[in-house]
Amino acid sequence: MEKQSVKVMATNREARHEYFIEEEFEAGIELQGTEVKSIRAGTLNLKDSWCGIKDGELLVNQMHISPYDHGNRFNPDPRRPRRLLMHKREIMRLFGKVKQDGYSIIPLSVYLKGSLVKIKIGLCKGKKLYDKRQAAAEKDAKRQIDRAMKERY
């Protein structure tokens, strides 16, 4: 079997700052019309996007895919909810976690795997302000250590 190439089209960098990511899942995404061409052009944004479960289906909301330039007037709404394709058992497990434990489901990245568009979602728990400060302090300390090591050698 050949190894499929993976090309990341967009990442949600804010999610790693705002949330502790407990688990990551890969899901397919149901797209319409020229949305795949638009994603291949790199015109999508994951900022402020989130996932929810409605009627047993996993949906990604507020993910912006710009209309395709060479499309026609039937381009779909850029911010419409899009269905994510996962096994029913996985969706029900996520639903249980979100309902009981206070987790959120956040899209982390969109990428091309071979010719398919995939989305990586994370089961996340929100960070408090002091957690963000601690993470920033650790990042700053690591940067200073790396800088000192670079000067030394």
CA dihedral over 87, 1, 29, 96, signed as positive or negative: positive
Calculate mean pLDDT across residues 55-64.
Answer: 92
What count of residues does the chain have? 153
Is residue 132 domain-resident?
no
pLDDT of 1 reads 54
Higher pLDDT, 102 or 143: 143
The three-point CA angle 105-59-102 to 5° equals: 25
d(Cα 106, Cα 27) in Å, to the nearest integer? 12
pLDDT of 100 reads 83
Is residue 148 domain-resident?
no
pLDDT digits (tens, 9 = 90+) for 118-130: 999 999 988 888 8
The whole-angstrom distance between residue 22's C-alpha and the CA centroid of its chain comes to 14
Question: What residue has token string 């499309």?
Answer: 71
Is residue 151 domain-resident?
no
Q: What is the CATH number of the domain that holds 71?
A: 2.40.280.10
Higher pLDDT, 78 or 110: 110
How much is the mean pLDDT over the chain? 89
Is residue 20 domain-resident?
yes
Is residue 1 domain-resident?
no
pLDDT of 118 reads 94
Is residue 137 domain-resident?
no
Q: How many domains does the chain have?
A: 1
